[in-house]
Amino acid sequence: MLVFRSLSSTLRRMSLAYADEAIHLREAASLSDRDIARATGSGVSTVSAWLRRERAPRGRRAERLVELSAIADRLAAVLGAERVPVWLNKPIPALEHRKPLDVIAAGGYEQVSRVVAELESPTFG
């Protein structure tokens, strides 16, 4: 029984690491609950629970969350954290005028990553 409880506690801490990633997005990239929900295909109330560390995303939602986080971190380094939400919600010509949050939600992390790589290149600007 003690082994099971220890394993359960370890698994809970591991799963809450995904909730911590949502908190990171909120703090480091100024993303709203709505932005995170949109990119992960979750409800706003679900994301609010993640931000309170009451629940954590799993499966596809966890995957989308970490993809969003990777993109947001890269954008913050190039554009500054305050511009990240704007860029993610703006129709981008290189994404066929789709919004990056919607592309990520549809599983298009690689497409968005390529556009961000262009921003990161020394010839940008």
Which pair of structure tokens corresponds to residue 57? 């995303």
The residue with tokens 């909730």 is 19
For 60-92, the pLDDT digits (tens) are 999 999 999 999 999 999 999 999 999 999 999
For 18-70, the pLDDT digits (tens) are 999 999 999 999 999 999 999 999 999 999 999 999 999 999 999 999 999 99
Give residue 15's pLDDT.
76
Out of 4-13, 25-34, 116-125, pick the least confident. Answer: 4-13
Domain boundaries, given as residue ranges, for the chain: 2-120
Question: What does the alpha-carbon distance between residue 84 and residue 47 come to, in Å, rounded to a whole number?
Answer: 19
